[in-house]
Structure 1
Amino acid sequence: MKDLFVYLRQLLKTLPSIAWIDLDKGQLNNYEVRPSIDFPAVLLKLEYPSTTKLSGKQQQCNVILTASIVFDFMDDTSSITPDDILEQSLKVFDIADEVHKKLQGAMDVTVIRTPLDRASVRDPNRADKIKVLQYVYTTKTIE
């Protein structure tokens, strides 16, 4: 997991639009306090839902990566919003697209066995003014 996180962190550090990259440690779980991260941020969660034994000491691991792209605001997007404000509000999608383009198809054979492949995108509702877009990717690794 360490090598995969380091690889993903290095990929995302090349994006000037992203101010913070970290493991998802529940930074967004407390709605009462502003998270101690810089925005826009990408929080990475790595999960191995299943593995296949290859040898006595090696397993092929199916990996689920959730990249939560976090913004500290999203202005108006209603039908009465002026176009210039709407364009500014929708920049969250431009930044999310930059992150996706960096991750989709990414592969380094020293770390992962198959290219990262987007499986889904979620847009959870939140009670605070933080906007989160969760991009879920799959890949395989050997450990």
Structure 2
Amino acid sequence: MKVVLKSIQDKLATIPALKYVDEDWGQLDDYSPHPPTQFPLALIDIGSLQYSDIGRDRTATPQNRQMATGTIVISIANLKLTNTSARAPQTQKNQAWAIWDIVESVHAELHGIVVGGSAGAMMRTAMRKVKRDDGIQEYEVTYTIGVSNV
């Protein structure tokens, strides 16, 4: 999975709008009001993996081979310092809506790509808003991935 996470990080690092791209080790948890990051950001984590046995290969280590299907979660966050009220100045609204451009850029970089190793293509399967009370606007985008012969 190290190859998968590193490959995703390398892909996301090409998005100019992202100031911080890293594995999610809790940077947005319990650090309010000053998380150890820059904004906007993308954090990468393995949501879950389920393994199934596919047989034995006596030439490999370990000999028992498996397939895995699971999720990769990309947390995309930005400080939301302005609102998008209908009467707000347009430049203010543009700044407040910026996270959606980043979500789309992340999707354009990741959806359908093969991220290396024995992993298949990443396919977006879900997105959810994370409710926060600290001015950070956060969305989690979930991708499904398959890994063979592990």
User: TM-score, normalised to structure 1's length?
Assistant: 0.90
Preserved CA contact (<8 Å) 2:115 2:122: no
**Count of aligned residue pairs for this structure pair:** 142
The verdict on how the C-alpha distance between 1:15 and 1:125 changes in structure 2, with shifts beyond 3 A counting, is same
- Which residue of the partner structure matches residue 17 of structure 2? 17
Preserved CA contact (<8 Å) 1:48 1:61: no
RMSD: 1.6
- Which residue of the partner structure matches residue 5 of structure 1? 5
Preserved CA contact (<8 Å) 1:68 1:133: yes
- Which residue of the partner structure matches residue 70 of structure 2? 63
The verdict on how the C-alpha distance between 1:104 and 1:78 changes in structure 2, with shifts beyond 3 A counting, is same
1:32 deviates by 3.2
Q: For each residue in 1:19-63, what CA deviation from the matched residue of structure 2 results, as whole angstroms up to 9, or x when unmatched?
A: 111111111111534110111111111133311112333211112
- Which residue of the partner structure matches residue 45 of structure 2? 45
Q: For each residue in 1:122-143, what CA deviation from the matched residue of structure 2 results, as whole angstroms up to 9, or x when unmatched?
A: 1111010111111011010132
Question: Who wins on radius of gyration, i.e. which is larger?
Answer: 2
Tell whether 2:109 aligns with 1:102. Answer: yes
1:110 deviates by 3.2
Distance 2:51 2:103 in 1: 30
Distance 1:80 1:31 in 2: 33
Tell whether 2:97 aligns with 1:90. Answer: yes
1:66 deviates by 0.6
Tell whether 2:101 aligns with 1:118. Answer: no
User: TM-score, normalised to structure 2's length?
Assistant: 0.86
Preserved CA contact (<8 Å) 2:33 2:134: no
Distance 2:40 2:118 in 1: 26
Q: For each residue in 1:89-137, what CA deviation from the matched residue of structure 2 results, as whole angstroms up to 9, or x when unmatched?
A: 1011111110111011111453412x11111111111010111111011
Alignment of 1:64-79 (within 5 A): 64-79=71-86
Distance 2:114 2:24 in 1: 21
- Contiguous gaps of at least 5 residues in structure 1: none
